[in-house]
Structure 1
């Protein structure tokens, strides 16, 4: 699978090899690695951009340090979608965390984000999510993940462009 945002924003690549329980994301940003790290670890910034445009995010718990944890709820028209996880490693250029959708508590993914400095104020985000089975991977891919990733990163582009990060 390979998906992309609209043409007014950078392209997001979402890939899943047919025989591995892994999803890979790659996306370039007009931002420094430090700006992307902050956007992923500052709870107020994170809540502004994560997920689809139709959802409003409330951070419930957020300790973006090695050994910390996080939880948030996203709401739309009376519906709530809750997520939680643990930060396993947070250091410059790298975040490793677990991710669980409370609606499917047995499905825990291990996610690694790295921020590759491309120079000239540009950074390539690499994301790898490992789940327990091909079926869980396929459920994630069909859950609306593509819309959430694309719309969320487009909002992050806008925040970066406005100097909010």
Structure 2
């Protein structure tokens, strides 16, 4: 079985990034991996020695979430947010903010899950506070980090389907 595929990034507006990625799994499983802390922790755990130390997600409108990762150096990177919309297996929207606000303020993230023939396309639209904030995010290794996590998600999804 081949796993997923590399993500693609488009820039539909001056303050937006759209990340699209396909997964070889039905959308209810991909959705579960985004909304159930035990599954989130399995694929969103850090790279290169980073350890996810906090993983909380309350999957309802108004529900809060919190993620923290600890680097080998001891540095802790944290982020959190509030779920603003949720439609089981098809849509999650949230407002989020990193503790070290490198994104120039709160971002809005929408996740749309679409399934065709047992394969799910995830479209993640991230709206930043400004073009400068979006460009700052693009200048980081964000895409590489996301694809690293998505490859782990491919493995979790394959295990869930056995």
Runs (5+) with no aligned partner, structure 2: none
Runs (5+) with no aligned partner, structure 1: 1-6
Residue 154, structure 1, aligned to residue 151, structure 2 = yes
* Conserved 8 A contact 1:51-1:148: no
Q: Which TM-score applies when normalising by structure 1?
A: 0.86
* Conserved 8 A contact 2:15-2:128: yes
* Conserved 8 A contact 2:54-2:67: yes
Aligned residues: 157
| Aligned alpha-carbon RMSD (Å) | 2.1
Residue 101, structure 1, aligned to residue 98, structure 2 = yes
User: Structure 1 residues 99, 124: CA separation in 2 closer, same or farther (over 3 Å shift)?
Assistant: same
* In 1: Cα distance, 2:3 partner to 2:63 partner: 36
Matches within 5 A, 1:69-148: 69-77=64-72, 78-92=74-88, 93-104=90-101, 106-119=104-117, 121-148=118-145
* Conserved 8 A contact 1:99-1:110: yes
* In 1: Cα distance, 2:33 partner to 2:161 partner: 10
Hey, what does 1:4 align to over in structure 2?
A: none
| Cα deviation code 1:7-66 (max 9, x no counterpart) | 97512002225x510000111100111001100000111122126522221235421211
Q: Provide the secondary structure at the position in 1 that maps to 2:141.
A: helix
Q: Which TM-score applies when normalising by structure 2?
A: 0.88
* Conserved 8 A contact 1:52-1:147: no
